[in-house]
Structure 1
Amino acid sequence: MLDALVVAPHPDDAELGVGGTIVRLMQQGWKVGILDLTSGEPTPLGSPEKRAEETAAATAELGSPWRKNLGLPNRSLEPTLEHRRAVAAVFRAVRPRLLFAPYWEDAHPDHVAATRLVEEARFWSKLSKSDIPGTPFHPARILYYFSVHLRIVERPSFVLDISDQLDAKVRALKCYRSQLVDNQPAGKPGVIDSVCDRTRFWGHMAGTLHAEPFASRETIGLTGLEHLLL
């Protein structure tokens, strides 16, 4: 039973978009999981074996959340009925109250497909009289994180302070050497630099050092204002 499940198109997307939040939630006692939909391979410097090793190391840096890879086709991820059923079965198995999905607008087709899969599998997960394994279950909410391939300024619904969790997020990102370290252009800012610049920007906007942005399609309800950063 999980409190929150991050669904990622590829290994490293969870760390890029929501890595600090994963660490923070686990430090607060939440049970958090990551569902990677594909292996992320092939890539220029990677291999399935190397990617699996990098993912295991990154998971440890995050605090060892529950993690599973569905093994769906990289570069050809589609919101098919078969894939929707597979994701819905995971939702029924781990029963998260909160889902994190990629932001719905992206240049990478896998990311757009992943978002549709999460939304559609969330609906299917609650259906009775179906052949989906497990007991019907409906995750209460989806929040969307930003790990996008577009040069845009995010338009979040809110941001979460990760000032104390940034170091763990960066350590996890550096575990993906084949994707985020060894393939970066010499003398220019790399992906990790860009991620830190963005967390610093959103932290500044919220009155703290670093923050991760999130969007929501649905109205967000609050029980109080005592935790708002001013």
Structure 2
Amino acid sequence: MIDLFKKVLVLAAHPDDEILGVGGTISKLTKKGTIVDILIFTDGSSTQYANDEEISENKFSEAERANKIVGTNKIDRFDFPDMRLDMIAHVDKNIALSKYISEGNYDTVFVQDYSDINKDHQELFESTIVACRPVPGQCVKYLLSYYVNSSTEWGNILRKEFFRPNVFVDISGEIENKLTSMKEYKTELREYPHPRSIDSIRNTAMYFGNSVGMKYSEAFNLILAR
């Protein structure tokens, strides 16, 4: 299916979400010449590290290094407040995202799945649904949601909505590149058995892969295809 994607936008509420959920697929797409851009929707650190601009810039530098490894074309960021997206008017997020997608003329968009327990992830999903709705003139043809280690698995246990993948991308040839990329996020990595550890990220890719007869896979929920 990914052979149909021409210009891709990966949305991430926070730096590292894009590699955790789509890193292998990004690498696979860019290897064959597909343009893949990243938009980090929040400032990434203002709540965790209030008034510390150095940490904010460091996290974005990690994101730039990580995305260079998987071949991302460019990485941008908005300045919506980290962990406080629910405090921003829904319409303001919708307008900002719709404008970015339209100006970029993206035919494919990836976003975190709504089943996630992270409120920022849910808020970004809801704005993405609005920005990508199939109205006349809409450039987006494919919309997929993705799984994020340390957030989505808890949603599967605790929420009525849960992650239901129906698209599996074979990343057996890209898994090491994905893990190397993730290692650039030193502020986000944890020790095993934390779900955001290198071994756990590998295990997740193995689980999804083994579910459909592959060695390693990233799983997605296809929301729109037209």
TM range (shorter): 0.7 to 0.9
- The alignment partner of 2:26 has SS state of helix
Post-superposition Cα deviations, 1:63-117, rounded to whole Å, max 9, x if no partner, equal 1322110111111113621111111111111111111111111111000001001
Post-superposition Cα deviations, 1:187-214, rounded to whole Å, max 9, x if no partner, equal 6455132221010112122222110001
- C-alpha change, 1:75 and 1:63, in structure 2 (3 Å) is same
Query: What amino acid maps onto 1:105 in structure 2?
Result: S
Match for residue 126 of structure 2 among 99, 116, 124: 116
Deviates more, 1:44-53 or 1:84-93: 44-53
Between Structure 1 and Structure 2, whose CA radius of gyration is higher?
1
Q: Which runs of 5+ in 1 are unaligned?
A: 128-135, 222-230
Q: Is the 8 A contact 2:110 2:146 kept in 1?
A: yes
Distance (whole Å) between structure 1 residues aligned to residue 28 and residue 98 of structure 2 = 26
Q: Report what 2:174 is aligned to.
A: 165
Q: Does 1:143 align with 2:152?
A: no
Q: Does 1:107 align with 2:113?
A: no
- Aligned positions, number: 206
Q: Is the 8 A contact 1:7 1:36 kept in 2?
A: yes
Q: Is the 8 A contact 1:8 1:37 kept in 2?
A: yes
- The alignment partner of 1:33 has SS state of strand
Q: Report what 1:59 is aligned to.
A: 67
Q: Report what 2:199 is aligned to.
A: 193
- The alignment partner of 2:45 has SS state of coil
- The alignment partner of 2:133 has SS state of helix
Match for residue 58 of structure 2 among 50, 62, 79: 50
Distance (whole Å) between structure 2 residues aligned to residue 36 and residue 24 of structure 1 = 21
Relative to the length of structure 1, the TM-score reads 0.81
Match for residue 3 of structure 1 among 4, 7, 18: 7
- The alignment partner of 2:41 has SS state of strand
Q: How does 1:1-230 map to 2 (within 5 A)?
A: 3-42=7-46, 43=48, 47-78=55-86, 80-123=90-133, 137-147=138-148, 149=151, 150-151=153-154, 152=156, 154-180=163-189, 184-185=190-191, 188-189=193-194, 191=196, 192-218=198-224
Q: CA deviation at 1:155?
A: 2.8
Q: CA RMSD in A?
A: 2.4
Q: Which runs of 5+ in 2 are unaligned?
A: 1-5, 158-162
Distance (whole Å) between structure 2 residues aligned to residue 155 and residue 195 of structure 1 = 18
Q: Is the 8 A contact 1:39 1:51 kept in 2?
A: no
Relative to the length of structure 2, the TM-score reads 0.82
